[in-house]
Amino acid sequence: AGVKDYKLTYYTPEYKPQDTDILAAFRVSPQPGVPSEEAGAAVAAESSTGTWTTVWTDGLTSLDRYKGRCYHID
Domain containing residue 46: CATH number: 3.30.70.150
Give pairs for 50-56: CB < 8 Å, separation 24+.
50/4, 50/6, 50/9, 50/10
How many domains, the chain? 1
pLDDT at 28: 93
Domain assignment of residue 72, yes or no? no
Domain assignment of residue 36, yes or no? yes
Domain assignment of residue 73, yes or no? no
pLDDT at 6: 86
pLDDT at 37: 95
Per-residue pLDDT in tens (0 to 9) along the chain, 74 residues:
455 688 988 999 999 999 999 999 999 999 999 999 999 999 998 888 776 556 565 565 677 777 899 999 99
Domain assignment of residue 2, yes or no? no
Domain assignment of residue 42, yes or no? yes
pLDDT at 5: 82
CA dihedral for 52, 31, 7, 1, sign (positive or negative): negative
Range(s) of the domain holding residue 45: 7-66
Domain assignment of residue 31, yes or no? yes
Dist. CA 18–CA 72, nearest whole Å:
14
pLDDT at 8: 87
The DSSP output letter for 58 is G
Exposure pattern of 35-58 as b/e (b: 16+ CB <10 Å)?
A: eebbbbbbbbbbebbbeeeeeeee
